[in-house]
Amino acid sequence: MNDPNSQVGDAGQIRLLIDQWAEAVRRKDMDGILRHHAPDFIMFDVPPPLQCRGIEAYRDTWPLFFGASPNPPVFDIVDSKITAGTDVAFAIALMRCVLVTNGQSSNLDFRLTICFEKIAGQWTFRHEHHSVPAVD
């Protein structure tokens, strides 16, 4: 049987990683953004490309976001929940960012799912999935 205290500890560790990642996005700190991501990380995103594979491809997606964001970027976790097992975990969140188009700012609310794997005792980002609600 799993030790409930280690699961609480794991969820806390993951929450800290997510908070540090979001803070790094707000600072435009690429090393901080990429920290704790697996080399073969996969992301499904809203703007093309819809899928990127590998840490370098993930790195290449950030200039598009930063180019459409105010300075500093808005990248807020509105609500989140973390579920952690022994070696895998996932987090779901509602997020808010601000995009600037033709000098006009607008909020973009989106959904985020992050999958983690514990590798050598360290929680590691394995997958992100960003989505926005479909509109008619």
Rounded to an integer, what distance in angstroms lies between the CA atom of residue 95 and that of residue 109?
6
CATH number of 4-131: 3.10.450.50
What are the structure tokens assigned to 133, written together? 């609600």
Annotated domain spans of the chain: 4-131
Element (H, E) at 44: strand 37-44
Strand partners, 113: 92, 129
What are the structure tokens assigned to 64, written together? 């598009």
Q: Going residue by residue through the chain, which has 136 residues, state the pLDDT in tens, using 9 for 90 and above.
A: 444 445 559 999 999 999 999 999 999 999 999 999 999 999 999 888 889 999 999 999 999 999 999 999 999 999 999 999 999 999 999 999 999 999 999 999 999 999 999 999 999 999 999 999 888 6
Pairing label, strands 75-84, 122-131: unpaired
Is pTM beyond 0.75? Reply is yes
Helix (H, G, I), strand (E, B) or coil at 34: helix
Rounded to an integer, what distance in angstroms lies between the CA atom of residue 121 and that of residue 133?
36
How many other β-carbons are positioned within 10 Å of the β-carbon of residue 8? 11
